[in-house]
Structure 1
Amino acid sequence: MRLSIGGPHLVLDVRFREGIEKVVRPVGRLLARLGLTANRLTVLGLVLNILAAAILVTGRFVVAAVVGGVGSIIDMLDGATAKAGKATSRRGAFLDSVADRISETAIFAAMTWYFSSRSTRLAVLSVLALGFSLVISYERARAESLGLDGKSGLFERGERLIVIGLGLLIPGAMEIALWVLVVGTAVTAIQRFIYVWRQAEPAPAPVGVTPYRIAETRIGRRRDQSADEGEEIGAGGSESERDATVFNAFVPRRMRERFGDRSQKRPPGSPGRRRRARGA
C-alpha cells in the first residue's frame, strides 16, 4: 500500500480501494437478495456509530471501537447494496452523506467530552480534528455544487476512521492518533482547497485577442446553431448593438421573452426612455 502524492487524488493507492470493492461487491449482492435496502443499512450504521460514541464517553475504548467498526462496515455496504439492487438515488446519496457527518461528529464529540475532564490538550485536539474534518467535507460538497472535482486529500473519511479505531484499540495510543488526525486533516484541507482553487481559475484570454473578438467568435458559432430558430445574430453595429447581440447570444430564449429582447430598440416615447430622461 502506497501513497500517491503526484496525482490529483492524494489518497490511499487505488489498488487497495479496488481490493476492498471486490470484497464489498458480492456482500452487497447478497444483502440485496435478502431484501435489505441501502437506506436501511445507512440508518443502521448511523445508529451503531451513535451507540459507539455513547460507549466511548464511558471510557470503554475497545467496546466503542468494535461497535463503531461494525457500524462503519455496515455503512460501507450501503453503496454496494444500492448498486446490486439497482436502487441508487439522489435521496440515498444525500442520506448517506448526512449520516456520515453525524457519525463522525458524534465520535469526535464523545472524545472531546471524555477528555475535557482528564486532559485539556486531548480535548482541544479532538475539537481541531473535528473542525478540519468538517472543512474537508464542506470543500468537497461546495466544489461538486460548482461542477468541480473535490475528491482529493490524504485523510478522507475512511482513513480518519482507521486512525481513530487504532487509537481506541491500542492502549496509550490515543494522543498519537489525535496528533496524526489533526496534522493529516489540516494538510488535507489545504491540499483540497488548492486543488479546487486551481480548477476554478478562469482561463486566460489569448494574447492579442480582445474580449469582443472572443464574443464575436462565439456568436459566429451560435449563428449556425440558431439559424433554424429564426434568430438574427451579428457582430457589427455600434457598441450598444454589439452588447445587445452578446446578451441575446448567451441568454436563454425564455429569459429574453420574460425580460425583453435587448436588440429591439424602444420608440422615442416609450416608458423606459421617459424614465431615463427624468433621471437625467
Structure 2
Amino acid sequence: MLNVFARVHVNRVVQPLGRWLVARGVTPNAVTVIGTVGTVAAALWFLPRGELFVGTLVIWFFVMFDMIDGAMARARGRNSPFGAVLDSTCDRLADGALFAALAWWALGIGQQRLVGIAALICLIAGSLVSYVKARAEGAGLSADGGLVERPERLILGLVGSGLEGLGVPYALAVALWLLAVASVWTFGQRIVAVYRSAQQATPAGQA
C-alpha cells in the first residue's frame, strides 16, 4: 500500500544516488549484500541489548540500501534474474533478523512476554505473506497487494522500537500487535487472491 503513495517521492531521492554509484562501478548486488549484512548485524547487536533507539537508527540506514539497489538496477537499464532472487532472499533475511531481535529483547531483558509473542507472530506471518506471493508467481498465479507489505512492516516495527527506545510507554507493544494482526490479515488476503487467480486460470468445465 505504501508503495503507491510514497515510492515516487522516495525514488526522487535515491535515483540520483543510484546513478552516481553505477557510474563508479558499484553493482546493485554489492549494495544489496552490504545493506543486508548491516541490517542483520545491527539488529542482532543493538536490539537484544536494549539499545533500541540507536539500533533503530542504524537499521534504518542499512534498510535504505534496499531502495538504492533498485535505483541502481534502473540506472543500468536492465534487471538481473540472479539479482532479483538475491534481493528477495536478502529481504527475508533482514526482516527475520529484525523481528527475531525484537523478540529476543522482549523475552529477555525487556521482560515483555506479550511483546515477544507479537514479534514472533510478525516474523512468521510476514514470511508467509512473502512466501505466498513467491509461490503463486512460480505457479503462474497472482497474489499482489494486501493490507501490509514489506515497507509497512519495516516502518511499524522500526517506529515502535525507536519510540520504545526513547521511553514512550507501550510504543513497541502497540506497533507490533497492530502489525501482527495486519500481517495475519494480509496473509489471508493473499490466499484469497491466489484462489481467485487460480479460478480465473482454470478453463470452463474443469473447475
TM-score after normalising by structure 1: 0.67
Aligned residue in 2 for 1:149: 142
Structure (1 or 2) with the greater helix fraction = 2
Aligned residue in 1 for 2:11: 21
CA displacement 1:176-197 (0-9 Å, x = unmatched)? 0111110110111011111111
Residue 58 of structure 2 aligns with an amino acid whose one-letter code is V
CA RMSD of aligned residues (A): 1.5
Q: Secondary structure at the match of 1:82?
A: helix
Q: Which runs of 5+ in 1 are unaligned?
A: 1-10, 206-210, 212-280
The correspondence of residues 25-104 of structure 1 with structure 2, limited to 5 A, is: 25-53=15-43, 54-104=45-95
Shift of 1:35: 1.8
Shift of 1:138: 0.5
Residue 91 of structure 2 aligns with an amino acid whose one-letter code is D
Aligned residue in 1 for 2:188: 190
Shift of 1:135: 0.6
Residue 22 of structure 2 aligns with an amino acid whose one-letter code is A
CA gap of 1:32–1:13, structure 2 versus 1, over 3 A, is closer
Structure 1 residue 121 corresponds to structure 2 residue 114: yes
- Higher RCO structure (Cα 8 Å, ≥6 apart): 2
Residue 191 of structure 1 aligns with an amino acid whose one-letter code is Q
Distance 1:203 1:87 in 2: 35
Q: Which runs of 5+ in 2 are unaligned?
A: none
Aligned residue in 2 for 1:180: 178
Q: Secondary structure at the match of 1:88?
A: coil
Q: Secondary structure at the match of 1:151?
A: coil
- Contact 1:51-1:67 at 8 Å conserved across structures: no
CA displacement 1:29-57 (0-9 Å, x = unmatched)? 11111221101100110111112212111
- Contact 1:125-1:182 at 8 Å conserved across structures: yes
Distance 1:55 1:165 in 2: 13
Distance 2:59 2:178 in 1: 19
Distance 1:13 1:108 in 2: 21
Aligned residue in 2 for 1:138: 131
Bigger radius of gyration: 1
TM-score after normalising by structure 2: 0.89
Shift of 1:16: 2.5
